Structure 1
């Protein structure tokens, strides 16, 4: 029986080639979207589940709360240096801890083989306690994980870095040099681990022992429980320990260990325990991540989008099948006359839809694999063909295909199986079902989807354009930043500045610790003179050299620029004045005080700079203090040339003449600014792609419904034409109902789009206002697409020979 149904279904699909092709195209496009999203979303799950006793691993989070206004100022995925080991001492449920310091982007350390002068700024450098491999599972190719990070100046390399540095030779016990100049130190390779075996938020390129000099020694020396929240701290609980119960004890722990530190810092803080397995998906709003994380809400939104697009494809199938019902009326009449039951006919028609859906599933797999490079570029993912051919994904895809086929075929099956054989055999073909409200509702749903997605694309594009064109407070177009990187190079800043100033195409040169648009992580608590030093305000700070403002184009609202001999003189931005309620005209007579561990430092304000952005537009501009630094981390150059190839070559020659063993590393500031809006740009591209696909599928659905209407009104059109009706009047007859559907969809879709896009914009401090014309434009776009799609079929019906449609009357 099943074989017979399959054979009948196949013959029917082959017989109706146009309908089959359109249905197959819609289902294939929808299923490709669905499979792509499923593969991407599935790849975001399963992070950090491979570690031994992974459910017992937790990260210590820190929420700092201002005593001044009792609000959460920050939410970090890090903690103060002494907290991890203090937790192990005070809580028997903690079996092991590990601290990690991450050399973030822009702070990479210079690394080279001891007998080579060629160094590299290697990314993803970690400094970690010797317990690292007791908490986290990484297959070691060389060395012993339990011993590898115990000795000072020891380092474990990733397999990729080991091959880069030593080729096919064994790296174990080889010597490397970290840093340069007086601060360089010799490092012994004590292990090599296999990189990229498992999905994890910890992706080190190399791991330096915490017992080493430099940052490791600094971390070990800090005993303050309030400040210096830059250390990624991890705990491993004993099996069966209740993490939630322990978390409730952390406020008392913090008060017992650090009440005086918190009072001196002027803020309160809360410690939280976050499961390591949750870090990749549930870290929205948490700052100072050690690696790029995903967002579970974003993934749910993608899954919803996949379901909507697949549903739109199902709607097409319904409309096309009901539109062509009259073509199969005689077949059904004959089958019923010879004894076919309604149930068997329903099974047959469901079989056709399921078969077509499964064919679409088979076709979509190689198409999706071929589109993986495009998907990776669109989402900045790293999907490979094994993510698509994953057994769980394929089984889920099969279920999607079955459900799609059943949903798409159920309503047409009911309509077709209900045809009366007596009427059909008398020549009366009636395939009407109610008043057609169900099919109209389906098309309205498609219009709502299209209008909502088009609105989203317009608003995301507007916000991105606003962000890109907004005055950042500095001249991003003509700035180039060169990294000094090592202390040896920083000490030679004056020589570098002097030599680069004389290069053709360079108009201004200055130094800074963080270039414009770079993320500033350093801050300190400050207060006004005579005020309570336990009620401090966080102020970011950045070192600059004289001529900095002339170079970057940031304007001074009052006062003067910094000078080479300034020590306690500083420049603040307007946001600092606002925070401390200082009037601009009083700023140059004001001072700020920093009190830390009982010692106070006073800073004289000699200048006020306009507010400039040093973070994304999602954040308000924070107070910042700029001080004189004669040994900066970056050289910023203002350029006046279009021949950047020659300019960069001259800069590199100058650099090599002063720092022959340090790599020449540079970045264009406008490119760095673009990174601030990378998430919005990616969202805009994803929205545009899926909007176009949804509209394409919806057009097929419109074609199906107008075909149905034309089929129902075939004889009416013929009579009208015989009586002298024009082509224009016939086109109006077929299109007016669809214009009403667009209007209904506009009224429903616009508030839906407004609600969701307004919520999205709430994440930005600096944002556009949603204007009414956006919805009019989206509705107009839907109207134009409808007229083009419906108009084609309407004109085709209007110019048809009326004799053919009236021949049976």
Structure 2
């Protein structure tokens, strides 16, 4: 019986080729969009699941509230917290600290005896317990004790292959850094770095039992400040997580009451399940790797649902539009014994068959579109993600569900036709004026107007971010990395040589290039004020001529000089935080609290505010001191031939630093990363909005075909009585204009509320203007009229004799 249903369904689809093609096109486009979104969203789940007992591993997050910065949540915590937790609470089975200073602080690595060096990102410094929490498979060596010995290091397989090729890396030595500060590291293992999805993606891991940063971390005993260590705890089986969370305030007071009182912060600790880090870390600073946002994924899923619903509505519209052509078939089948259930199953079979066919077509089309999808979402989706069992099962379910949803209404309508009326040629389905049908069309218009409005607003915000005054001139700025102690010592020589190169206008130095995130902060207060009530002020060092080089204006005072020691420049936000008037700023003193001691800083200049973090964060107080050994050379170029300029710069670099790579960044490209997420969302919105409108146009085409079919004889009579083509077109389009108006009234406030909420994440945001929605409604109306007019004009100019000859 089922086979017979599908056989009849296949014949019917072949018979109505145009309708089948339009339906298939709409369902296929909708399914490709839906499938692409589903694959991306599903790829964001399943993080950390590869680690044994991952549900028992938690990260300690820190919330700090202070004057000047308000409340901030950080992924890091103070270094001594980890082992104090293990000592105090038996439910804490194991702990580990990881220190990571970001992509910009790449370590210079080379094999001992080799002149070939590499700046390698994702270098971690971790306690020897790291592999007790995170069981990375080892390809060389063993994880047990791999990080116990001083200066031990383990490498990822990728890095080991890069440095040693196919040779065994175990037991060999590496040199980290150069000059007096270089360290010789012994390789104790090579781990598999494609182990699974994780927020931890180490390229190499250096033991905490090492000099430099490791020594510093081990020496820190303050429980209030230095919240830079990522602290992980592994709990015993069956531990009461909620109970441990309630103990943390008491723990912090027991160990850090004096430290907290000294700095005047309000601080709290929280447990975050490691498997939640990737999706539930919105607003948490100092992340070790790129994260996603569960709300963003929900938004994408809603978008996918809307697009699929629009495709289903098209199917309904087109199926009912051709109902009259199947009326006699239905009448005959009912007359020879077919009941309503048989007909419903047949029509559902047709829709499910077509939907499944669209699902099958969507697989290779999605695979072909995969590079574009990855570029659009900045994802790393592979073909294995598309042809995985979860996706295939989901796609099968989606195909069946879409077919049932799309085919149910037409099946109920068509199966309700009375055979007597059909066989007498007096059938009138009268479904064109139904509220459900109009409601479906209004829904399409609401989606279209809402998406168009959203695209306009997102585009406006992105343009606003791009054109916003960053507080410095990003154009023609080049930042050159000084990654070793040798490079730092050679700063003055390099700056002098670079200044003489044609095409270089200005040269200076900085510990952070413009727009780079600055994490370091100091607790400060005004002289004579309570030293326990501090304001957090970020800090960085620059060399003379920095502000002139980057184009940051000094509002009052002077630039830093090479002999400055306690003299500093602050930004305008610092004055606001301490309520210092601009005209009284020069000569003012800020006191830095140093755990019982203090350091005075004299203000000699005030710079305009400039961005050094995400554009979703307000500009924080900043203190800039004189730095004799900056981490970056910042130069202003004045040339159109960057190829020659970079060649000349590298040649000068090699003359002085022969054994270190020449690494540079174009600052304008780095600035773009500050609003990359918004640009990506804008592109996604434009693409899927265009596809949703395309699918809606197919539905409108089907709907106007139905209306023209229903009013064929009315049009013929009106033409015989003298009506013009314009009158006929107006007759067929006026209902759609009314539906667009209703949709506009619904969509505009909905889009306003949603986009207003989205804009709340931006401290520097646009104001939503009324004309945005007017443009969106006008665009929807224009698209509708263009779609409808083709079929309306075709019906209006048809020969009335053909439509009236049977009367």
The bucket for the TM-score relative to the shorter chain is over 0.9
Q: How do residues 300-319 of structure 1 correspond to structure 2 at under 5 angstroms?
A: 300-319=298-317
Shift of 1:434: 7.8
Distance 1:697 1:434, change over 3 A: closer
Shift of 1:72: 4.8
Distance 1:103 1:588, change over 3 A: closer
Aligned residues between the structures: 807
Give the corresponding residue for 1:293.
291
Rounded Cα–Cα distance in structure 2 between residues aligned with 1:650 and 1:247:
58
State which of 638, 658, 663 in structure 1 corresponds to 2:636.
Answer: 638
Q: How do residues 217-236 of structure 1 correspond to structure 2 at under 5 angstroms?
A: 217-236=215-234
Give the corresponding residue for 2:588.
590
Paired residue secondary structure (2:100): strand
Q: Does 1:53 align with 2:39?
A: no
CA contact (8 A) 1:94 1:238 kept: yes
CA contact (8 A) 1:172 1:192 kept: yes
Give the corresponding residue for 1:348.
346
Rounded Cα–Cα distance in structure 1 between residues aligned with 2:365 and 2:590:
63
Paired residue secondary structure (2:380): coil
Q: Does 1:552 align with 2:538?
A: no
Rounded Cα–Cα distance in structure 1 between residues aligned with 2:279 and 2:787:
42
Rounded Cα–Cα distance in structure 1 between residues aligned with 2:113 and 2:323:
81
Rounded Cα–Cα distance in structure 1 between residues aligned with 2:285 and 2:668:
24
Shift of 1:686: 0.4
CA contact (8 A) 2:138 2:192 kept: yes
Shift of 1:385: 1.0
Paired residue secondary structure (1:539): strand
- Deviations along 1:466-509, whole A, 9 cap, x unmatched? 11011111111121110111111111111111110000000110
CA contact (8 A) 1:63 1:72 kept: no
Shift of 1:616: 2.3
Paired residue secondary structure (2:19): helix
So what's the TM-score if we normalise by structure 1? Answer: 0.99
Paired residue secondary structure (1:565): coil
CA contact (8 A) 2:432 2:707 kept: no
Give the corresponding residue for 1:75.
73
Paired residue secondary structure (2:272): strand
Give the corresponding residue for 2:532.
534
Rounded Cα–Cα distance in structure 2 between residues aligned with 1:35 and 1:435:
34
- Deviations along 1:604-648, whole A, 9 cap, x unmatched? 001111111112221111110110010000010011101000000
Rounded Cα–Cα distance in structure 1 between residues aligned with 2:52 and 2:553:
55
Shift of 1:733: 0.4
Q: How do residues 243-282 of structure 1 correspond to structure 2 at under 5 angstroms?
A: 243-282=241-280
Give the corresponding residue for 2:645.
647
- Deviations along 1:366-408, whole A, 9 cap, x unmatched? 1111111111100010001111111112111111111111110
Shift of 1:704: 1.2
Paired residue secondary structure (2:252): helix
Give the corresponding residue for 2:700.
702
Rounded Cα–Cα distance in structure 1 between residues aligned with 2:75 and 2:689:
36
Give the corresponding residue for 1:190.
188
Shift of 1:595: 1.2
Paired residue secondary structure (1:263): helix
Paired residue secondary structure (1:103): coil
CA contact (8 A) 1:126 1:206 kept: yes
Rounded Cα–Cα distance in structure 2 between residues aligned with 1:616 and 1:60:
23
Paired residue secondary structure (1:667): strand
Q: Does 1:9 align with 2:24?
A: no
CA contact (8 A) 1:103 1:109 kept: no
State which of 785, 788, 802 in structure 1 corresponds to 2:786.
Answer: 788
- Deviations along 1:41-84, whole A, 9 cap, x unmatched? 11111100121111110000000022x59x85210111101100
Shift of 1:102: 1.0
State which of 239, 242, 257 in structure 2 corresponds to 1:241.
Answer: 239
Shift of 1:339: 1.3
Q: How do residues 60-459 of structure 1 correspond to structure 2 at under 5 angstroms?
A: 60-66=60-66, 68=67, 72-433=70-431, 435-459=433-457
CA contact (8 A) 1:95 1:237 kept: yes
Rounded Cα–Cα distance in structure 2 between residues aligned with 1:723 and 1:574:
78
Give the corresponding residue for 2:616.
618
Q: Does 435-444 or 682-691 show the bigger shift? A: 435-444
CA contact (8 A) 2:432 2:706 kept: no
Give the corresponding residue for 1:27.
27
Shift of 1:708: 1.0
Shift of 1:567: 0.1
- Deviations along 1:555-583, whole A, 9 cap, x unmatched? 11111111110000000111111110000
CA contact (8 A) 1:490 1:633 kept: yes
Rounded Cα–Cα distance in structure 1 between residues aligned with 2:201 and 2:609:
36
Paired residue secondary structure (1:433): coil
Shift of 1:103: 3.4
Rounded Cα–Cα distance in structure 1 between residues aligned with 2:616 and 2:49:
32
Rounded Cα–Cα distance in structure 1 between residues aligned with 2:274 and 2:315:
45
Q: CA RMSD in A?
A: 1.0
CA contact (8 A) 1:419 1:430 kept: no
So what's the TM-score if we normalise by structure 2? Answer: 0.99
Q: How do residues 460-539 of structure 1 correspond to structure 2 at under 5 angstroms?
A: 460-539=458-537
Q: How do residues 564-583 of structure 1 correspond to structure 2 at under 5 angstroms?
A: 564-583=562-581
- Deviations along 1:676-706, whole A, 9 cap, x unmatched? 0100000000000100010000001111111
- Deviations along 1:167-188, whole A, 9 cap, x unmatched? 1111000111000111011111
Paired residue secondary structure (2:536): strand
- Deviations along 1:419-455, whole A, 9 cap, x unmatched? 1111111111311138322111101100000011011
Shift of 1:547: 0.6
